[in-house]
Structure 1
């Protein structure tokens, strides 16, 4: 299980990556909003706006810190937030691909939960 200092680093890495991704949105009609619930360790990136007459709204990234591990609940990015976390030094055994069915997680390089 991750230590308090490690968890603080994980939280900082999550906030950094979500903020960077939000800043890279190229469509001025779409707002990328970061939501950081530090009390419950829930972090999201949401797109809100309009493309013509069509409403755009959706959670692009949703990460939780649960029992010392980073749970990726939603990842709508091309690169994959798990890969970015690994680049920042988070070990794969502390990342859970929560969007994968539990019975399939052991086929990945990441934690099963």
Structure 2
């Protein structure tokens, strides 16, 4: 969590506690309600920030996994290509050998 955001959320929550307490002390129901609203808003912002961070973390993990899988696929494609080239060369060698055997002597 960003330090500035964390400080803002904590400040808003503390302000809400102060307002709520002052409202109770002075019998001001509106001040109590505003205090509770500030606290709820601060908690909601904290939750949203944590959710965003979690989503970024999951996204990063998915990206890393996809990159690993693409790397593995890339290697397998190179291996398959190399194997196809070897098979083609072997086939060409066999064809030349067969052609030489069929030539009249």
Larger Rg: 2
Query: TM-score w.r.t. structure 2 length?
Result: 0.29
Query: TM-score w.r.t. structure 1 length?
Result: 0.27
Structure ranking higher in helix proportion: 2
Structure ranking higher in strand proportion: 1
Higher RCO (CA < 8 A, seq sep 6+): 2
